[in-house]
Chain A
Amino acid sequence: MSLHTLTIHQLRQKLRRGDISAREATQALLDRIQAVDGKLKAYLWLNAEDALAQADAIDRTGAARNGQLLGGVPIAIKDNLSVDGQPCTCASKILQGHTSVYDADVVHRLRDAGAILLGRTNMDEFAMGSSTENSSWGITHNPWDLDRIPGGSSGGSAAAVAADEAFAALGSDTGGSIRQPAAQCGCVGFKPTYGRVSRYGLVAFASSLDQIGPFTKDVTDCALMLRVLAGHDRHDSTSVPQAVPDYTAALGKDVKGLRVGLPKEFFIDGMDREVEAAVRSAIRKLEELGAEVVQISLPHTDYAVAVYYLIATAEASANLARFDGVRYGARVTGEDVIDMYGKTRGAGFGPEVKRRIILGTYALSAGYYDAYYLRAQKVRTLIRQDFEKAFEKCDVVVTPTSPEVAFRIGEKADDPLKMYLSDIFTISVNLAGICGVSLPCGFTSRPKLPIGLQILGRPFGEETVLRVAHAYEQVTDWHKEKPEVEG
């Protein structure tokens, strides 16, 4: 078996036994990337020499053999997370040539666990999008069908893991940007509870919604990654000082008697027929495993997209004010400083980012604040309360991750509202601040495209979500299917 196809837990066994070195593991991925990334374009930046030097350092210290959680395991990083000394552009022209000057907290944790920071993955510019088509550096292709999008915004990370170009990758999820591409590419993607993982070193998009999480090949690896990433960090004031459980210990427990809630609002007209069939079949599987299915209602679901696009754009318009041509990135000179700001931002931001900055600025502007932003925050309360009430009746909520499978490149490019509505099942999770995973639960027949199952848990209920996901994964083989991408 080729090394690049292994999961992290399989790779770790070989590394710990000394069967292979960190250098060999890294070289195997570099070879795979060399062979297939010309077609997929999942990576924006990679430095083989640097990655191998990190691997050699780990081999010298024996970190791979002394039981460190990720000793000798190369990990790919979304291009909005700081890795000291590596470029960080958020797939935006405005940050072209920018080099990070410190490690994000999650990157620091990966290094401490013995991981190798392999390279930077493609994304929608500033994480704004659902298809990775908004990258300033080109499109990433879905490994199952090169004419289709990989999902977004963390499309590069999802495609890299699905095509065995990475053992795992980091992404960020503001409205579904981990779970949706995981579903579209057929891998596991986890959005932790708001406050569970520090965002220090993540370029902020919408600060009340952003969370960092892992992409992995299976649920076991997901638990392992979460164990490394989670924990309190005083550099992020939203980081919750709560002990991190051993998530891997949640694996292998049965789901007998666990209550699985099905929100009636999520099984809507217009959902892809094969998606609905796959999700319903997954729910039957959970019932066979002893879970109890209960009907629940999340009555304000229909308002989530509207709330999200007011809150997320308002926060983005404030967060992206820092890109002004003074401290980093490109500068376009002007007649005076205000003109310089305007020209720099006009030239540096792409169309979707501009659209959202304009919407967000408008929603926050004098005379409109109460009507748009404040009202959206109030409806957000109703959405949050929907979940609180639902979790009195059930332990997890199960839904499709997305109403459809990966669409064709360019299909929705000119209709932003249609694109926004494709996030309908993931967005309310960020608004409520709860946690959730997407994992493979089937394929469409023709063409063969992956379908994602979303499992949601209470705030800090990561263990229960992982337990259900793992139990399902043990009785299915979807996660073992691989796309045929050859060089």
Chain B
Amino acid sequence: MAENTDSFDVSYVAHLARMHLTDAEKVKISAQLKDILTYVAKLNELDVSQVEPTAHATPLSNVLRQDEVEPSIDRDKVLRNAPEQARNLFIVPKIIE
């Protein structure tokens, strides 16, 4: 585990998360996360080289079903929650110049 939490670049991580932070938020979150990262570094005390990871605690895997057409939620109802919609579509800002 990375011991050196000074390398934590909150602006870069905020960009990865597609989430704007104000300068004040960056300062506060950086400081708090350094504390938290220092705390979680205690996991380094354990030798886990022979341990399999647990992704979830269900006894099931690869739950499959038949690919059958079924009724789904009414389109108009779904679109009513959208910030912008027209002609049965979600409207987003232009993506390709």
Verify A346–B19 contact, CB threshold 8 A.
Answer: yes
Verify A329–B83 contact, CB threshold 8 A.
Answer: yes
Bound: A342/B13 CA distance, A? 12
Verify B20–A346 contact, CB threshold 8 A.
Answer: yes
- Contact partners of A306 in chain B: CB under 8 A: 39-40, 42-43
- Contact partners of A302 in chain B: CB under 8 A: 42
Known A-B contacts A237-B60, A337-B95; the reply to A354 vs B19 at CB < 8 A is yes
Of residues 56 through 97 on chain B, the ones whose CB sits less than 8 Å from some CB of chain A are 56-60, 63, 65, 73-74, 77-78, 80-84, 90, 92-95
Bound: A352/B28 CA distance, A? 11
Does A194 belong to the interface (CB within 8 Å)?
Answer: yes
Verify B60–A417 contact, CB threshold 8 A.
Answer: no
Bound: A150/B84 CA distance, A? 38
Which residue of the partner chain A has the closest CB to B77? A101
Bound: A134/B56 CA distance, A? 27
Bound: A337/B57 CA distance, A? 37
With most chain A CB atoms within 10 A of its CB, the pick from B20, B51, B55, B94 is B20
Question: A-B contact count, CB below 8 Å?
Answer: 175
Of residues 9 through 61 on chain A, the ones whose CB sits less than 8 Å from some CB of chain B are none
- Contact partners of B78 in chain A: CB under 8 A: 101, 327
A238, A240, A375: the one contacting B48 at CB < 8 Å is A375
Verify B2–A371 contact, CB threshold 8 A.
Answer: yes
Verify A372–B82 contact, CB threshold 8 A.
Answer: no
With most chain B CB atoms within 10 A of its CB, the pick from A207, A325, A354, A432 is A354
Does B21 belong to the interface (CB within 8 Å)?
Answer: yes
Bound: A365/B14 CA distance, A? 11
Interface pick from A67-75, A106-114, A376-384, A395-403: A376-384
Q: Report A109 CB to chain B, min CB distance, Å.
A: 19
- Contact partners of A300 in chain B: CB under 8 A: 46
Known A-B contacts A101-B78, A358-B14, A361-B16; the reply to A303 vs B42 at CB < 8 A is yes
- Contact partners of A327 in chain B: CB under 8 A: 78, 81-82, 90
Does B29 belong to the interface (CB within 8 Å)?
Answer: yes
Known A-B contacts A417-B39, A433-B58; the reply to A303 vs B17 at CB < 8 A is no
Verify A377–B18 contact, CB threshold 8 A.
Answer: no
A208, A371, A384, A417: the one contacting B1 at CB < 8 Å is A371
- Contact partners of B20 in chain A: CB under 8 A: 342-343, 345-347
Verify A384–B29 contact, CB threshold 8 A.
Answer: no
In this complex, how many residues of chain B approach chain A with their Cβ under 8 Å: the count is: 54
B19, B48, B59: the one contacting A345 at CB < 8 Å is B19
Verify B43–A238 contact, CB threshold 8 A.
Answer: no
Chain B 1-36 against A: per-residue CB contact (8 Å), 1 yes, 0 no? 110000010100111111111100100110011011
In the complex, 10 of the A-B residue pairs with CB atoms within 8 angstroms, ordered by the A residue number, are: A208-B55, A326-B83, A328-B82, A343-B20, A346-B21, A354-B29, A381-B53, A381-B54, A433-B57, A459-B57
Give the B-binding residues of A (Cβ under 8 A). Answer: 98-99, 101-102, 194-195, 207-208, 234, 237-238, 240, 300, 302-303, 305-307, 309-310, 317, 321, 324-331, 333-334, 336-338, 340-343, 345-347, 349, 351, 354-355, 357-359, 361-362, 365, 368, 371-372, 374-382, 384, 416-417, 420, 431-434, 459
Give the A-binding residues of B (Cβ under 8 A). Answer: 1-2, 8, 10, 13-22, 25, 28-29, 32-33, 35-36, 39-40, 42-44, 46, 48, 51-60, 63, 65, 73-74, 77-78, 80-84, 90, 92-95
**When A and B form their complex, which 8 residue pairs have the shortest distance between CB atoms, in order from nearest?**
A433-B57, A346-B20, A377-B53, A331-B83, A378-B48, A208-B56, A237-B63, A342-B20
Known: A309-B40, A346-B20, A362-B8. 11 other contacts (CB 8 A): A327-B82, A334-B93, A336-B93, A338-B18, A342-B18, A342-B19, A354-B29, A358-B33, A433-B56, A433-B57, A433-B58
